[in-house]
Each structure stands twice: as C-alpha cells, then as structure tokens.
Structure 1
Amino acid sequence: MDDLLDAPVAGLADLLLDAICLVDASGRFVFVSAACESIFGYTREEMTGKLVMDLVAPTDRARTMAAAQAVMQGRSHTNFENRYVRKDGSVVHIMWSARWLETEQLRVAVARDVTPLKQAQAMQAALYALSEAAHACHDLPSLFQRCHDIIGELLPASAFAVALPEGAAQALRLTYHAGDTALAAPLLSLCEDAMRNNTVQSASCAVSHGGDGMLAVPLTAVRETVGVLALCNPGRGYTEHERSLLLFVANQFAAAIQRKQLQARMHFMAMHDELTQLPNRRLFLDRLETALARAQRHQDRLSLLFIDLNRFKQVNDRHGHAAGDRLLQEVARRIGGCVRESDTVARLGGDEFVVLLESVALPADVEPAMEKIHHALAAPFVLGDGLVLEVSASIGAAHYPQDGDSVQALMSCADIAMYCSKKSAASTEGSSQASLGRAVAP
C-alpha cells in the first residue's frame, strides 16, 4: 500500500469531501480515505478488510456485483449509483466512479454521497404522488393504501397505521393498519397520546433493540387535527431527519384525508336526508332501480312499503316543529329496527317513509314486517321536556312483479295503497292502531 499511496498523496486524499477507496480482487477494502467515516459511519480501521458487499443494501447487491465485475474486466464505470447501510443502520446513497488497476489487482473508486439530492427527489416525488392520490383515490381505504406505499418508499416501517376519530364520542380507532398485528394495540395507544397532546410521540417497540422504534405524528391540516399516522421500525427507530421528513409528509397526507372526508360528507349530504340521516328520494330511487333490475335478472321478488304518519301536521301545530323533528327522527330509528340490514329505509320528505324489501318469497311474507312496524310506531314516543306522543301510521304495500314491473308503477301502486290505508284510519278517528293497506294492480 505504501507503494501505491505515499504519505503526501494519502494526505491529499484525506482533504477530499468525496471518499477514495481501494478494493482488492476478493472484494475487500484495503484503503479508505478520511471521508469514508462521515459517509459510511465506520472508522478506517473498521472498514479496512471488510467485504464491500457486506455494506451494500441487500436489494442493490446483485447489480453492484455485476458492476464490480465489469470494472474488473477493464471497463471503467462512472456515475454508478447504489445504496449502502451505514453503521447506525441508516441508508446512504452513493454515486461511484471506478476503474481497475491491472498491475496492482485493485479497484480504485471515488464515492460521492448524494443522499441529500436523492432525499429531495424522493420528497418531491412523494408530494406529487400524495397530491395525485388525493384526486385519484375514490375513498379513504384506497387513499390509505396508496399513502402507505408512498411513505414506505421514504421511510422503513414494519408496521403502518392511520388512526381517525370515529363516532359521537370521537374515540380514536385504527382505521388502517398494515404489518405486525401484535403492534396494533401499542400503536393505537401511542396515537391516542399524540392526538391528546397534539405532538409527535415516540416509544420503544417491545421487539426493539434500541431507539424509539414507534413514532406517531398528528395529521394536521388547516389548523385541524384529522387523525394520527404511526410507524414502527424495530431495532433502529427513526433519526431526527426521518422524523422531520415524516412530519412534513404527514401534513400533505392530512390535507389529502381532509379533502376525501369533505368529499364523502358532501356526497352523503347529497344522497341522505339531513334530519334522519336516512337515504333520501334520490338515493332510494337509485337503489330501487338497481334492485328491480336485479330481481328481473334473477326472477326474484321485491316489495315496497309506503309509510305515512297520521295527523302529523297536528304535532307541528300543537307542539312546534322542533318536537315534530324529534318525532321524525325517532320514527326513522324505529322503522330501521324492524327490517333487515339488507333492506333500505328512506325518507321521501315530510312524514313519508318508504321501505324496500328484497328477496321476498311471497307478498304475504311482507305482512309480518308491516305488523312489526305498526307495533313499533304504536308505542308512545317520549320526546323530552315532558312531551309524550302517541301516533299512528298508514302503510301501503306494492309487490314486484304482480303490482308492476317498473319503478314508476311500483311507487304509484304503493302510494295508492297507503292513501287507501289513510282513509281507513281517518274513519276510526282517535284509534292508535295503524292501518295496513295494499293496492290492487291497475
């Protein structure tokens, strides 16, 4: 080695910001300049004698070996890029220029750390990808999966989770989780701390051998924390740079979530009744048309129930519209409790509700559902402030195929049946019993 690099030359090499390395035919370092320690994290003594391939990132080893063999065959190699694993476990991006010294049987290579450039490029690509995902993904689950892929390109993570507040209590739940299921509970606990304190939280994984393996970052957009993003990297944790990187990406992720949530709310509002949260006329007609097409295709049956409260106007006149609204909300809840999850309950407007029952064997099989709704609505309604109301309902039914084979025909038939029932109820003024009716097909 003294013959190759005398003291003055070696001293000059140590002044370079790029690293100079000499590697023998077996692939071991025989000389490294001072810059290697700042680039790779190992001292000269630690690197000397070490196999080059032991430091190369596993996914880059095959092409690095091919490049090394090409150099040893006499082909100079410039601007070759690969990744190395530093002593602290972090990844460094290297750009190499190398040639083979035949007489000395050595590869001489110059290594430049291009990690900041690669990180900037990856960040720019991630931001573009997140923005694209916010527009391209149709719902939150697909957005979470896409963002998982994007962030996974930037940071190591054996577990990835997104926690969002849900329900009336806004309790935090893991809406998305990928990776080791054993980490779900500790990740959720860390997310709750991050949400409560609105700060980045870290903790050690149970399987970690050092460092804060778990990291939870609040997802904040326009001064609103919409949830928490959590990662786990057992064994090493995350550097300060990686924390800052995740925090920056999290802000873009939060904006994408907020955008998707707003779109979902707007879609829900367009297709649901604001008061009862039931499907509105538009959504109901769409479901009825789809169900009718399915029934025609499979030669199945379906039924419609039109439900109208009797003398509802008197409730508004005597007790006010606020009491009427509370009554309608309770009526919606009770009707929903009388049918199957696969059935559709909708509010058409005012005090008119409709139920779509699919896969009905015979029209007579609908009678029990009508009776169940009748009894549910006949029970007193306790509406608060000492107000207790007793109401009755008129119910009309129409059945496919005997009462019609189109949306318009079935709706008209059920509507006529309901008004026939209402006339019958009017003739028994004061009765709390609901009338049941069914129209004969015209």
Structure 2
Amino acid sequence: MHNISSQKVIDLLLDAVCIVQEDSRIVFVSAAFERIFGYTPQEVVGRRILDMLHPDDLAATQGQVASIMAGDLQLQFENRYVRKDGRIAHIRWTARWLPDRQVRLAVAHDITERKRHESLQAALYAISEAAHATQGLVSLFEHIHEIIGRLMVATNFSVALRDATSGELRYAYHVNERVAAPGAPLCSDSRCAEVVRTASPLLITPDTRHGWSVQTPPADAVPQARYWLGVPLRSESGVIGALVLQSYGEEGAYTSADQELLQFVSTQVATAIERKQIHEHLRQMAQFDALTRLPNRMVLMDRLQIALERARRDGTLVSLLFVDLDDFKRVNDTLGHAMGDLLLQRVAGRLHGSVRASDTVARLGGDEFVVLLESGRQKDHAHTVANKILAAFSHPFDLEGNVLQIHPSIGTALYPVDGSDAAALLDHADRSMYLCKQAGGGAVQPASAPAVLEAPTL
C-alpha cells in the first residue's frame, strides 16, 4: 500500500486535479480530466485552460482568477467549459495560488448532472407557467420553443398536432432556418407520422439515416436535415402530436441523451397544450356563436365600446348595420331546422364577404346579425356596405338542392348622430331595421336624414 505513488493516487480521484501557470497554461492534469472535459492529459498540457472556457463565462472567471492570484482561497466557484465533443461541462472549482511554485492548484468537480437536473426542473416549471400565463396557443408554442432552446440547440423547432376529427397531422408551430413555414399547415413529413403512429421517439443521424425504414421526403422537396429528432406528445387521451428538432450542421448533433431529455419534457408540453386547447375552446364557447362561428353579443358590445372610444378620441364615425332575414320562419317550417341552420351559416359567409377584415360581423341570435363598421369620416360608408350586402343576397342560396331567394332587411345607425353610447346605437339600428321590414323588407333603412350625416367638426 505504501508503495503506491502519489501520481497513481491522484489519478484514482473522481475529481480532476489541475496545475496551471499564471497565464492559465496547463502544466499538469490528472486522469479524471479526460472523463470530465473529454481531452487526454497529453492533449491539453501546454494549452491555456481558459481557451476551453465557455465564452459567456470568461469575464466572471477572469475576476475569480485575479482574486486567487491576490491570495484568496476559492472553494465554490462555478463555470462552464466546452468539452472536446462540443457538449457543455459544468464545473465547481476549488483553487489556490502557490506563490513558491508560481502556479495555481485547482480541483474540478463535475456538476453537469446536477445542473441538468436543475435545468429540467426549471423547464418543467416554466412550461407549466406558460400554460397559464400565455394568450393563445401560438404564444404558448413560442414560450416552449424558448424553454427547450435553453436545454439544447432548438434553432429548427416544430409542433405537429393531430386533428381530433380527421386524424391529419398539422403544423401548429413551425420555425426552420432553411424551410419557410408551409402555406398550408398540413404536415406531410412521414417521419412525424411515424412518431405519432408508433408513439415512439425517432432519432435520425448521419450514421442511422440509411437504416431508417420509413420513407423520408424526397431530396428535392426540402433541404435534408443532418440530424432529426422527434418525440411523441402523449396525453391521457393518447398521442396528440409530436415535437420535432432538426439540425443542418454539427452544432445540433442530437444524441440519445437529447432524445431522453426532449421526451422527458414532452409530457409536460402535452399537458400544457391540452390545457390551453380546453381554455380556448371554453373561450370560443363564451364569445362565439356555435353555429356560425361569428362573435356573439358580448364580443360585439366589447368591440363597439372600443370603436366608440377611438371615434371620440379621433373625431371619426362609427356605423352599425342591423341585418334581419325576411321570412326566415318559413324556411324552418317548410324545410326543417337543419336547412334553417345551414342557411344561417351561408348568410354568415356572405356577410363576411361583404365587409373588410377589420370590420365585425356578429350574430345576436335567431336570424339577427349586426355589422360594426369604423367608418372614418365617410358618412355614406354604411350605405355603401349595406348595398354590397343586398347585392350579395341577390343570388339565390342553394341548400343541398333547395334553391331559395332570401332577402334581408337592414337598419343602420351612425355615431354620433344616432346615439352616443353602444346601447343607444344598437337600439336605433334595431328600430331602423323594423321600419325597413314594415315597409316591405329587402332594402336599407337610412340611419338619419342625409342632412345630419356630416362628420363631426374636428
């Protein structure tokens, strides 16, 4: 036992012993250095250890070196180094300066696994927080992309979700440096389909590409990623989609360790997605008409209030069109409620096609619709749009072979002439519509006499 040399004892240590000169040039490292940093002692003696440091940690490390050189004992300093294989090693150092030898003696303790565990826990917490704090699925996916990017290279990141009705895979989120987001969100990547079908992760590298049995997209279709990693998104209801990472170079040389990590966080991601989908479904139910998918009265009044505030500030006009179908009850009575519902859906489509994307078409209930127009200073804007609607209704509706000619009665109201608040304007448009209906329908009842339709004085 007493014959074992000090060199052999040092080489038995799990921590790496390092001796470096004042300029950080390495004089000696123990055998554990290779396990922690990836380099053999022969490869690093004579090199500057700071050259292997993660660039983001250089300033803090130089400050610690200056403190040690001044005589302080360093016991708990942590920083990161870039291993020979490109991965990051997290190190906790114990170090001191030996003035008689003019060298620093340091011991490197590998805390990479501890840091990885802390990062994973932080990621899981961040994903859970994002599910509560973000507005909408796109915002959630942006946050998830950022969170996963802290764990590994995630320059090219996609979320493909399976449609619950059709079973089709669609891109809910797609960021790729080589391939633009598809115009149609349908995901035709057979690798994604394989991940979802088998409910198993898939890692494709240059070494395994030829052994993969599933047909990949044609080489001329999209640039081929050098590394491709996909994991299923599992929930209690089954596999709802896939998370995909791609890399076109060695900076994202994904390994089985990356696969395990992505698979670990994917469960939390799936939970967050389902929670957000449920929230959005409830929001849709609360704010949008289930039959026509148009905003309901609550949303209309909210948007009208905002429009009025803007009009008061800018001195502009706001118009309302109250649209009611003539003889709608006859459709339900003769063709049944299913055809009546289909007619309402078609009416919603024609109303939408008659206005700008910035305008609001809402369904109040039954066959009553309201169009909200921010008219600027155009006093005849409402009349112009109403005539477009009448023109759209001049064509018959084909309801599964039942051809009907349906006409609307349209009442109008103009802010500030016909009311100064939302309720007054809606009431005026409603009364105008009934006047139109009493006159025979199929026309527009003006909001007020033309003489008072002047824009407000600014």
What do residues 264-316 of structure 1 show as CA deviations (whole Å, max 9, x unaligned)?
A: 22112211110000111111111112212222222211221111111111111
> Aligned to 2:268, which of 252, 276, 289?
252
> What amino acid sits opposite 2:426 in the alignment?
M
Mapped contact 1:133–1:143 kept (Cα < 8 A): yes
**SS of alignment partner, residue 97 of structure 2:** strand
2:311 is equivalent to residue 313 of structure 1 = no
Most deviating of 336-345 and 219-228? 219-228
Mapped contact 1:164–1:172 kept (Cα < 8 A): yes
Q: Distance in 1 between matches of 2:20 and 2:397?
A: 87
Q: Which residue of 1 aligns with 2:213?
A: none
Matches within 5 A, 1:228-239: 228-232=243-247, 234-236=249-251, 237-239=253-255
> What amino acid sits opposite 1:321 in the alignment?
H
Mapped contact 1:156–1:233 kept (Cα < 8 A): no
- Percent of matched pairs sharing the same residue: 45
Mapped contact 1:202–1:212 kept (Cα < 8 A): no
What do residues 333-378 of structure 1 show as CA deviations (whole Å, max 9, x unaligned)?
A: 0111111112111111001111112125454443232222122223
Mapped contact 2:317–2:377 kept (Cα < 8 A): yes
> What amino acid sits opposite 2:81 in the alignment?
Y
**SS of alignment partner, residue 339 of structure 1:** coil
Deviation at 1:103, TM superposition (A): 2.4
Q: Distance in 2 between matches of 1:116 and 1:26?
A: 30
Q: Distance in 2 between matches of 1:363 and 1:80?
A: 72
Q: Which residue of 2 aligns with 1:197?
A: 195
- In the alignment of these two chains, the number of paired residues is 421
> Aligned to 2:93, which of 91, 96, 121?
96
Mark the CA change 1:182 to 1:37 in structure 2 (over 3 Å): closer, same or farther: same
Deviation at 1:189, TM superposition (A): 7.4
Most deviating of 253-262 and 414-423? 253-262
Matches within 5 A, 1:260-339: 260-339=276-355
Mark the CA change 1:46 to 1:294 in structure 2 (over 3 Å): closer, same or farther: same
User: How does the TM-score come out when normalised to structure 1?
Assistant: 0.86
What do residues 204-248 of structure 1 show as CA deviations (whole Å, max 9, x unaligned)?
A: 699xxxx95443334333324245343537314123222211221
> Aligned to 2:430, which of 402, 407, 415?
415
Q: Which residue of 2 aligns with 1:43?
A: 40
Most deviating of 322-331 and 220-229? 220-229
Q: Distance in 2 between matches of 1:192 and 1:278?
A: 36
Matches within 5 A, 1:47-66: 47-66=44-63
Mapped contact 1:416–1:439 kept (Cα < 8 A): no
Mark the CA change 1:126 to 1:375 in structure 2 (over 3 Å): closer, same or farther: same
Q: Which residue of 2 aligns with 1:182?
A: 178
User: How does the TM-score come out when normalised to structure 2?
Assistant: 0.83
Matches within 5 A, 1:146-157: 146-157=143-154
Q: Distance in 1 between matches of 2:299 and 2:245?
A: 37
Deviation at 1:162, TM superposition (A): 4.0
Q: Which residue of 2 aligns with 1:429?
A: none
Q: Which residue of 2 aligns with 1:108?
A: 105
Deviation at 1:58, TM superposition (A): 1.4
Q: Which residue of 2 aligns with 1:340?
A: 356
Q: Which residue of 2 aligns with 1:3?
A: none
Q: Distance in 2 between matches of 1:309 and 1:303?
A: 20
Q: Which residue of 2 aligns with 1:134?
A: 131
> What amino acid sits opposite 2:65 in the alignment?
A
Q: Which residue of 1 aligns with 2:230?
A: 216
Mark the CA change 1:110 to 1:201 in structure 2 (over 3 Å): closer, same or farther: same
Mapped contact 1:347–1:353 kept (Cα < 8 A): yes
Q: Name stretches of at least 5 consecutive residues in structure 2 with no aligned partner.
A: 207-218, 220-224, 450-458
Deviation at 1:92, TM superposition (A): 1.0
> What amino acid sits opposite 2:48 in the alignment?
L
Q: Which residue of 2 aligns with 1:377?
A: 393
Deviation at 1:393, TM superposition (A): 1.7
Deviation at 1:34, TM superposition (A): 1.6
